[in-house]
């Protein structure tokens, strides 16, 4: 039954995305703010479909940063990539350049003021990432990054990349760690979307000025500890979740 509901979600999601993708075509010539508002409407529709078909939603805990900040989030699911558009309002998301090549989706993604990096460019890409993050925080926007660079299964060994430390060192703004348990409900490449309420938790900010090694250790410790606690909490509350 879970697989059937997940297939139904995927089908309706594709239809919703295609229809709005066509209707939104005139927005490709509009401002990034207009495209961002249109994207938020699309995301709200996605979560409506998700609740309707799979009984899955999310809740936010902790103070959401307002204005310029570096938001460093655990990454377990597609769910949080959608949710942050609604939670943070107008985030400048750091992502791989390949995503901009996806038909329709990539076109609009590039119009929302993202920081796209070419991961094959090595040190040059890191410098461009820091430069782009600095420009966006100067505008008062939160910069969102997934320090592991890709979705990780719940319980997998963490793989934090040092790029986050470079950005932190180059900005004079707090870094807000984010823990979550979304992977238990919507796993990577999984048709088994589980019902329940996933949690996205904003943790105590890390003030600017720490040395890189200490910052990396503190960031990973906070995120992993809190994410493990959220996973244990969810499994206790929802016995049907994967163990």
| % of the chain beyond a pLDDT of 70 | 99
d(C-alpha 207, C-alpha 199), whole Å: 24
Rg of the chain on CA atoms, in Å: 18
Tens digit of each residue's pLDDT (9 = 90 or more) over 19-62: 999 999 999 888 888 999 999 999 999 999 999 999 999 999 99
Output the pLDDT for position 15: 96
Parallel/antiparallel/unpaired status of strands 142-145 and 92-96: parallel
Tens digit of each residue's pLDDT (9 = 90 or more) over 123-134: 777 888 889 999
Q: Distance between alpha carbon 99 and the CA centroid of its chain, in Å?
A: 14
Q: Has residue 190 got a pLDDT over 70?
A: no
């Amino acid at each position: 039954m879970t697989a059937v509901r997940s297939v139904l979600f995927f089908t309706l999601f594709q239809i919703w995305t295609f229809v709005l993708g066509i209707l939104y075509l005139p927005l490709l010539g509009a401002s990034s703010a207009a495209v961002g508002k249109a994207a938020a409407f699309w995301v709200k529709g996605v979560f409506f479909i998700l609740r309707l078909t799979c009984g899955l939603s999310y809740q936010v805990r902790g103070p959401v940063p307002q204005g310029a900040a570096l938001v460093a989030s655990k990454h377990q699911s597609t769910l949080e990539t959608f949710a942050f558009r609604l939670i943070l309002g107008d985030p400048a998301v750091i992502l791989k350049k390949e995503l901009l090549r996806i038909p329709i989706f990539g076109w609009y993604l590039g119009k929302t003021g993202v920081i796209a990096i070419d991961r094959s460019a090595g040190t040059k890409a890191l410098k461009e990432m820091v430069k782009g993050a600095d420009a966006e925080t100067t505008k008062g926007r939160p910069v969102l990054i997934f320090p592991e660079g890709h979705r990780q299964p719940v319980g997998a060994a963490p793989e934090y990349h040092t790029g986050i430390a470079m950005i932190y060192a180059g900005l004079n703004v707090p870094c807000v760690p984010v823990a979550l348990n979304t992977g238990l409900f919507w796993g990577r490449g999984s048709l088994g979307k589980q019902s329940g309420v996933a949690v996205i938790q904003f943790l105590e900010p890390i003030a600017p000025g720490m040395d890189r090694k200490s910052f990396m250790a503190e960031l990973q410790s906070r995120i992993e500890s809190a994410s493990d606690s959220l996973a244990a909490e969810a499994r206790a509350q929802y016995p049907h979740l994967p163990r």
